[in-house]
Structure 1
Amino acid sequence: MYIAGVDGGGSKTLVIVADEQGTILGSGRSGCGNHQMIGAAAAVANIRNALMEALVQAGIAEADLDFVQFGLAGADRPIDLEQLSPEIDRQLSLRKWNVVCDTMEGLRIGSPDNVGVVLVCGSNTNAAGRNRQGTVIQVGGFDSLFGDRAGGYYLAAQALGRAVRSWEGREPYSILVERIPQALGFGSFEAMLNQFLDEDRQTAPLELSLIVHEASESGDWLSRELLVEMGRELGLSAATVIRKLGGFKGEVVPIVLTGSILQSGRNSLLLEALSKEVKAENPISTLVIPEMAPVFGAVMLAMDHVDIPVTEQMIRNFERYGGDRK
Structure 2
Amino acid sequence: MKGRSIPLLAVDGGGTKCLAVFTDRQGKIEGTGRGGSCNYQTTGKEAAVDELVRAMKIAKEELGESPDETLRVECAVFGMAGLDTGYDRQIIEGLVREALSRAEIRADRVVVENDGLAALLGATDGKPGVLLIAGTGSIVYGVNGQGRSARAGGWGYRVGDEGSAYWIGKQALTAILQTLDGRQGPTSLARRVLPYLDLRSEEELYNWVYSADYRVDTVAELSLLVSDSAREGDASSLRILEAAADELFYGGRAVIEKLGMTDTSFTLILQGGVLQNNEFVRSRLTKKLREFAPSCNLEEIKKEPIYGVIAQGLSLLP
State the partner residue of 2:87.
79
TM superposition score normalised by structure 1: 0.80
Greater mean deviation of Cα atoms: 277-286 or 102-111: 277-286
Deviations, residues 127-168 of structure 1 (Å, cap 9, x unaligned): 121122222212121136545422222222111111233355
Residue aligned with 1:207, SS: helix
- Indicate which of 195, 207, 216 corresponds to 1:182: 195
Note the residue ranges of structure 1 that are not aligned, 5 or more in a row. 308-326
- Which consecutive residues of structure 2, in runs of 5 or more, have no partner in the other structure? 1-5, 101-105
- Look up the equivalent residue of 1:76 and give its one-letter code: D
| 2:153 matched residue in structure 1 | 140
Given candidates 282, 285, 289, the residue that maps to 1:271 is: 282
Pairwise CA distance, 1:37: 3.3
Amino acid at match of 1:3: L
Deviations 1:241-291 (A, max 9, x none): 111112353x2221222223224x2x2221122123323431111223315
Shift of 1:101: 0.9
**Cα distance in structure 2, aligned partners of 1:216 and 1:58:** 48
TM, length-normalised to structure 2:
0.81
Residue 300 of structure 1 pairs with residue 299 of structure 2: no
Q: Is the Cα–Cα contact under 8 Å of residues 268 and 297 in structure 2 kept in the other structure? A: yes
The one-letter code sitting in structure 1 at the alignment partner of 2:93 is S
Which residue matches 1:14?
Answer: 19
Paired residues for 1:76-225 under 5 Å: 76-92=84-100, 93-143=106-156, 146-167=159-180, 169-186=182-199, 188-190=200-202, 192-193=204-205, 195-196=207-208, 199=211, 205=218, 206-225=220-239
Say if 1:297 and 1:158 are closer, same or farther in 2 by CA, change over 3 A. same
Partner-residue secondary structure (3-state), 1:270? helix
Against the structure 1 CA distance between its residues 38 and 276, is the aligned structure 2 distance closer, same or farther, given a 3 Å change threshold? same
Runs of 4+ in 1 over 6 A off after TM superposition: none
- Note closer, same or farther for the CA distance 1:197–1:154 as it changes in structure 2 (3 Å cut): closer
Query: 1:237 Cα deviation (Å)?
Result: 0.6
- Comparing 217-226 with 104-113, which one deviates more in the overlay? 217-226
The verdict on how the C-alpha distance between 1:81 and 1:177 changes in structure 2, with shifts beyond 3 A counting, is same
Change (3 A) 1:160 1:60: same
Q: 3-state SS of the aligned residue for 2:247?
A: helix
RMSD, aligned CA: 2.9
SS at match of 2:162: coil
Displacement of 1:78 after TM fit?
A: 3.0
Match of 1:30 among 17, 29, 35: 35
Kindly tell me the number of residue pairs found equivalent between the two proteins: 303
Based on CA coordinates, which of the two structures has the bigger radius of gyration? 2
Give yes or no for the alignment of 1:235 onto 2:278: no
1:46 maps to a residue whose letter is: E
**1:123 partner SS:** coil
SS of equivalent residue, structure 2 residue 10? strand
Any residues of structure 2 matched to 1:61-72 within 5 Å, and which?
Answer: 63-72=71-80
CA distance in 2, matches of 1:231, 1:121: 10
State the partner residue of 2:271: 258
Shift of 1:122: 1.7
Counterpart in the other structure of 2:103: none
CA-to-aligned-CA distance 1:56-103 (integer Å, 9 cap, x gap): 233236625443321112212333222222332233133333111111
CA distance in 2, matches of 1:295, 1:214: 33
8 Å contact kept, 2:131–2:269: yes
